[in-house]
Amino acid sequence: MSSSSSSQSAHGQAEASSSRAPNRQPAVEDDVSDPEDLLSSDPLDHSLPEQISFKRKQKATAPSSFSFNRFLPSPLGASSPSKSPLPRGPQSRLSQLRTNPGANDSTELILNYLDTPGNAGEQLQDTKDATGLDWYVEGPGRRVGYDDLTAIDWIFEYAKERQRLRYLYSSASGIIGYLKQLADASQIWLILIAAGILSGGIAAFIDVASDWLADLKTGYCSQVDGQGLGGDGHFYLNKGFCCWGYSEYSQCHDWHPWSHALGVKSAGGGWIVEYIFFVLFSILFAACASILVREYSPYARHSGIAEIKTVLGGFVIRRFLGGWTLAIKTLGLCLAVASGLWLGKEGPLVHVACCCANLFMKLFSNVNSNEARKREVLSAAAAAGISVAFGSPIGGVLFSLEQLSYYFPDKTMWQSFVCAMVAAVTLQASNPFRTGKLVLYQVTYHSGWHDFELVPFAFLGILGGLYGGLFIKLNMKVAEWRKTQPLIKGPVMEVVLVAFVTAIVNYPIKFMRAQASELVYILFAECADLTEDTLGLCKAGKANTGVVALLLVSAMLGILLASFTFGLQIPAGIILPSMAIGALYGRAVGLSVQVVQQAWPGLFLFGSCEPDVPCVTPGTYAIIGAASALAGATRMTVSIVVIMFELTGALTYVLPIMIAVMISKWVGDALSPRGIYESWIHFNGYPFLDNRDDNASSIPDVPASQVMTRMDDLILITATGHTISSLRTLLRTHPFRGFPVIDNPRDAILLGYISRTELAFALSSAIAPPRSLPDDTETYFSHQPLADPTTSLDLRPWMDQTPITLNAKASFQLTVSMFQKLGLRYVVFVERGGLRGLLTKKDVWFVLDGVEERDRDSDGYVGGGGMGIGRGVGREQGEGESEERGLLAGETEEEDERGAFR
């Protein structure tokens, strides 16, 4: 082959490839589409009336403010070329450039090759004239799209968006022009408003459906002799609506437990019958949820927040935000929540909201064709998920800012606010609980707190940090054990086993039998607000001793069950289970403090308590415990405080919540440096670089030359000496994501970098009609004045001639900072213009996350292999043909049997 590449040696250099081996790809059980789908069309070919360019047009002379033509330009009036909205052909621009000697020195020459259609050479008639067509000016090259499981180019995407806006505003004049600008600016708002409405409606549906299915485990609703008061005894009503209007459930005649339905009269026999039905329905719901995920949408599993963080960081995961994923996630959440497993719907609702926004983005090509803008919209839509999960619009905005978003400008905060507000208003209008509350566990407190309670509040913070560190370590151990030594083969059987054990444990313990949202509400509420003390939390004096012990036992069992549940192949969140566990031990601490205060009311610590007024409110300890547990697991701070404040409406308790959250985060960070979502990102092997990570001590203080893939280990392409056939063979032989281009093997002067996708598209377009070039056609990557454009192929339009470069002596810390702050895909290292090495985003992630110490199996993203500093890690490697292809990188795939649900 005519490539100047060096063969990789038997060991270190072959291992040093940046994406290692394809056996680290995430296992996806979805349809495999043809890899040529991505190359089937050029999205830049039809996105604008005048093809995309980064050239700066001359500003038009400002018309008089009183000019009527400013609003209604005459169709007969002559206008200057700079004012004309009509597209200019490449030949007219060529004539203008030739008659303007100074044009070559201005930015008017930058990237004009982006103005030509993406046909890989049909318009290249002037290739012998080096000054004629200005694609010889260095630029980032044309783009086809992004492969699955690759990083986007933030710089290119935002430059493309600036060019689109410049064309829109320079060519728009008069009323029609202003209407076009208004329509373009309103697209984002239409997407977010529609996504907020759909998210609120789906959240209301999940609330109603999951409550009905959960109550179905204990009985059913049926009218008896017309005695139903509020619900009239219809089968589709849950227990609360079926018995609407009754002060106690024992008075409700329309609700029929399964023991009564089967005619079992004895108390013991009835308890056993209801126990059996409880276990059977729990297993049935969990198995159905797992089967839906396995058969129709593997990406609907888990909470999705780890993947959303990775996507917002610039990673492409196709089909992760598709309509099919949205449908399965919604149905799966209803079933999974109703099964009684220790999981929640709050985290998955963020995934649901992002799926809603992604569906509506497909209606607007200007937004959907730009990966950077899509991630801004998804950051804003994520706020709607938390808004409907907690009834907390402001908390949702802060959650997106603090936990999810990689890039969050001021405009995105305003967009997040609007989307979260619309979603909350939709949920409020739906009123799924018929209580006027956005969520079931929204409570109100009537009393304040005293100074002596700061000590137990701080103790709750310590407990929250201990819980977070313990849970993360235990959950990761279970995940590793599940992957390396599975007890039961098959995700569905594993879900069935966990559901069976959970149901067996839950039913005898009254605190665990209740649904998580109902349990959290009862633990949060004051006794004065509870119409019926179903869990016995409002007993007085020493009668609370057994309740406290049961609360603590329930919290410990909840930690174990949640550790095994979070990670199963079903939709599952960890936010509500963490809140429930924190509320359990928080209520236990509150009851203990209440017993001590009532036993020794004259103690000097309780001097601030008023006589004949309850001094300690155990429900407040539950909500502070829930906040501390959530902070320990997720390491969020500000958003948790705001969410808890919006849940209670009690500004008085903001300070205790802040203290508990602060202490919990400190303790949790001491035990485990990563939160639960970051731990799963690390476990799944997603190359996510957190741009807010300011811990410079974790970055090795070494030169970048000790980490980069050296030139001897790279597969290089020379500027000349290749044919279409040899380049296609190169692509088949080496599955790397891209190739540096040099002038010749001796000098190795860097000319640019060409991505695998763009090179494959250019070659396939050249051999297809209308050009139909033969396989032995000569190709080149530099200006060839004697080349015949009809019998050769110029690949410069598809090459990034201005890659981000650093000196080979630069420090690795500087390199990491550039990757984090600029969102780069790769950095090329040069010395005096000569290529010295290459470093990709995945390489940096390898070094920072210590992947070289982990021998991952085929379910991971990138392959194992001993990568150590000083070896080099190579380029991004192409994945095998078994990887799935789907949404986020474009719309080039063909419709399959799922049609629009793609």
pLDDT grade for 113, boundaries at 50, 70 and 90: very low
| pLDDT at residue 295, rounded to an integer | 93
Which two structure tokens, joined as six digits, stand for 47? 């996105």
| 770 prior amide bond cis, ω within 30 | yes
Tokens of 407: 């890039």
Is the pLDDT reported for residue 52 higher than 80?
no
Give the per-residue pLDDT at 666. 95
Helix segments in 566-604, DSSP class H = 575-599
Highest mean pLDDT among 138-152, 205-219, 226-240, 242-256: 205-219
Confidence category of residue 693, pLDDT binned at 50, 70, 90: low
Give the residue with greater pLDDT, 385 vs 171: 385
142 within 8 A of 883, measured Cβ to Cβ:
no
Element (H, E) at 718: strand 717-718
Burial of 67 from C-beta contacts in 10 A (0-12 / 13-18 / 19+): exposed
pLDDT, tens digit (0-9, with 9 covering 90-100), for 809-857: 999 999 999 998 888 999 999 999 999 999 998 889 888 876 444 433 3
pLDDT on residue 145: 81
∠ CA 297-472-680, nearest 5°, is 35
Percentage of the chain lying above the pLDDT 70 cut = 76
Residue 91 pLDDT grade (very low, low, confident, very high; cuts 50, 70, 90):
very low
Q: What is the pLDDT of residue 232?
A: 59
Q: Is 799 helix (H, G, I), strand (E, B) or coil?
A: coil
Which tops the pLDDT comparison, 605 or 581?
Answer: 581
pLDDT at 542: 62
* Confidence at residue 695, expressed as pLDDT on a 0 to 100 scale: 64
- Please give the C-alpha separations between residue 121 and each of 42, 127, 265, 660, in angstroms, as whole numbers: 13, 10, 85, 64
Residue located via tokens 């039961």: 488
Side by side, the strands of the sheet bearing 792-794 are 722-723, 778-780, 792-794
pLDDT(868) > 50 = no
Q: Which of 245-259, 282-296, 636-650 has the lowest mean pLDDT?
A: 245-259
Give per-residue pLDDT as tens, 234-266: 788 888 888 877 767 677 878 888 888 888 888
Distance in angstroms between the alpha carbons of the first and the last residue of the chain: 40
| Average pLDDT rounded to a whole number, residues 297-320 | 92
Report how far residue 562's alpha carbon sits from residue 594's, in angstroms, rounded to the nearest whole number.
Answer: 29
Cα–Cα distance for residue pair 194/357, rounded to 1 Å: 8
Q: Is 105 left (phi over 0), alpha (psi -120 to 50) or beta?
A: alpha
Tens digit of pLDDT for each residue in 169-201? Answer: 888 778 888 899 999 999 999 999 999 999 999
Weakest mean pLDDT among 1-15, 425-439, 586-600, 752-766: 1-15
Residue 455 DSSP SS3: helix
pTM for this model (two decimals) = 0.80
Q: Quick one: average pLDDT of 541-570?
A: 89
What's the whole-number mean pLDDT along residues 696-702? 78
Which of the following CATH numbers is that of domain 704-857: 3.20.20.60, 3.10.20.30, 3.10.20.600, 3.10.580.10?
3.10.580.10
Phi-psi region at 42: left, alpha or beta (left = phi > 0; alpha = psi -120 to 50)? beta
User: Which of 239-248, 632-641, 792-801, 874-883 shows the lowest per-residue confidence on average (mean pLDDT)?
Assistant: 874-883
171-185, 325-339, 656-670, 754-768: lowest mean pLDDT where? 171-185
Average pLDDT in the chain: 79
Of 831, 835, 832, 834, give the one whose Cα is nearest residue 875: 835
DSSP 873: -
Highest-scoring range by mean pLDDT, 93-102, 228-237, 252-261, 888-897: 252-261
Residue with tokens 């020794």: 600
Q: Could you tell me the residue ranges of all domains in the chain? A: 451-684, 704-857
Question: Environment class of residue 353 by beta-carbon count within 10 Å: exposed (0-12), middle (13-18) or buried (19+)?
Answer: buried
CATH superfamily for 451-684 is Clc chloride channel (1.10.3080.10)
Alpha-carbon distance of 826 to 151, in angstroms, equals 10
| Residue of 311, 160, 327, 407 lying closest to 888 (CA atoms) | 311
Q: Report residue 261 as tokens.
A: 């339905």
Give the pLDDT score at 541. Answer: 61
**Sign of the torsion angle spanned by Cα atoms 370, 375, 380, 382:** positive
Mean pLDDT for 572-590 is 95
